[in-house]
Amino acid sequence: MQGNYSDAAAYLNAARKKFPDFRRAHRNLALIYIQQDRYETAIKHLLRVIELGGGDGQSYSMLGYAYLTQEKYQSALSAYQLARMFLPDSMDVRRGEAQCLLMTQQFGAAIALFDELISEHPNEQDYWLFQANGYLSQNQVQDAIANLEIAHTIAPPSASSLSLLGDLYLNQEMHALALNNYQAALKQDPTTRPEQALKPLRRLMQTGLFDAARTYLKLIDSNLQTALSPTQATEKAVISAQLTIESGDLEQGLDQLQSLLNEHPLNGAALLLMADVQLEREAYEEATFYFERATSVAEVQIDALVGLARTAVAQSKFQSALKHLQKSQRIKQRPDIAQFMASIEKVIAAQ
């Protein structure tokens, strides 16, 4: 009762040695070990309490919590469901059961139980967030978005929750809302890992939202307080060059790329970007030069071979294009490349 757990445990263990079936000693030891985060030991004592006939709501509830911390979700679910027989109105028991239902992929039941909890405690942020995870697992994206928005009004959201909401809005093509949440996430946690900070930038680039990516990149430069690794800094530099090119300042962007390649001659992303720009300019010799250099970089080798094929097709060199694609397929089979090959073979057959 005074919180002196080490002394309490010593006396309880002494009592247990004299009376191995002393149920109250086992129960109180379990309480102590849970307080000390010694969950495996607590579970042993709780199982002994239940074996000795002490299977009440408190025992099953503690057992469920201990199993939950050990990520033994099915065992935790069974314990919580037994606890509800004794404590049907307990918020802790129902919350634990709902979490276990989520983790055992019983999403419909989890959502229904969180509905019950939310109706009783609508200002409990965690309930809205947990239920949002259930909705996402059921591909109910609009419901998940609504839950996250409500949760964010109850208490300040975490950066990860804001970033998730940004991803959902981006997938729904609500681009302005996606950018707002990405920016809010970085402002919320400017000391986030650089990898986490760069993810929205990559997604915006992949979606072709270059203005939004430019805005977010400026925020990274001004707000991010953790240092990028050399690889991450190079990636950001390539993206910056691409954004410069997309803005219409081709020469400035090419200068940025060339400077980057002078320092990192085997940077695959920079080589591919430079080659793509040259291909778009119909500078086929230069495009071929950079795509060929990129084939020596393992992580972009297939894309480089496809680039060589595209360059050959632009010059009506279909046999050459086919050879590049065949080589890429020997490295790794890809359906899109197979379809590209089939199209070229039709053109060759028609000649």
If you average pLDDT over residues 71-88, what whole number do you get? Answer: 96
Average pLDDT over residues 13-20: 92
**DSSP of 195-240, one letter per residue?**
HHHHHHHHHHHHTT-HHHHHHHHHHHHHH--SPPPHHHHHHHHHHH
pLDDT at 2: 84
Q: Please, are residues 259 and 237 in contact by the beta-carbon 8 Å criterion? A: no
Give which of 171, 165, 168, 226 is closest to 195, Cα–Cα: 226
Q: What is the pLDDT of residue 3?
A: 82
Average pLDDT over residues 120-138: 97
Tell me the one-letter amino acid at 286.
E
pLDDT reading at 351 higher than 90 = no
End-to-end CA distance of the chain: 91
Buried b / exposed e along 82-100 (16+ C-beta atoms within 10 A): bbbeebeebeebbbbbbbb
Q: Which amino acid is at 32?
A: I
All domains in the chain, ordered by first residue: 1-104 (1.25.40.10), 248-351 (1.25.40.10)
Show contacts of 97-101: CB within 8 Å, 24+ apart: 97/64, 98/130, 99/68, 99/130, 100/64, 100/68, 100/73, 100/74, 100/76, 101/77
CA–CA distance, 48 with 53 (Å, rounded to integer): 9
Name the band, by pLDDT with cuts 50, 70 and 90, for residue 263.
very high
| Residue 234 burial by Cβ neighbours in a 10 Å radius (0-12, 13-18, 19+) | middle
Among the listed residues 260, 173, 166, the one whose alpha carbon sits nearest the alpha carbon of residue 208: 173
Cα-flanking dihedrals φ and ψ of residue 26, to 5°?
-65, -40
Interacting residues of 295 by C-beta distance below 8 A, sequence separation 6+: 301, 304, 305, 308
209 sits in the region (left: phi over 0; alpha: psi -120 to 50; else beta) called beta
Please check the confidence at residue 4 and state whether its pLDDT lies above 90: no
CA distance 103 to 68: 10
| DSSP single-letter state for residue 122 | T
Angle at 315 between CA 289 and CA 350, to 5 degrees: 140
Nearest-Å Rg of the Cα atoms of the chain is 29
What is the pLDDT, as a whole number, of residue 1?
Answer: 83
- pLDDT bucket at 84, cuts 50 / 70 / 90: very high
In this predicted model, what pLDDT tens digit does every residue of 307-335 receive, in sequence order?
999 999 999 999 999 999 999 999 999 99
- Output the pTM of the full model: 0.84
Own/partner pairs for 120-124, CB < 8 Å, 24+ apart?
120/91, 121/91, 123/154, 124/154
Structure confidence at residue 5 as a pLDDT band (50, 70, 90): confident
The answer to whether 201 and 220 have CB atoms below 8 angstroms apart is yes
**Cα 165 to Cα 177: distance, rounded to the nearest angstrom:** 9
Q: What is the pLDDT of residues 142-182, one digit of tens each?
A: 999 999 999 999 999 999 999 999 999 999 999 999 999 99
Mean pLDDT of the chain: 95
Give the Cα separation of 177 and 180 in Å (integer): 5
Q: Is it the case that residue 228 has pLDDT exceeding 90?
A: yes
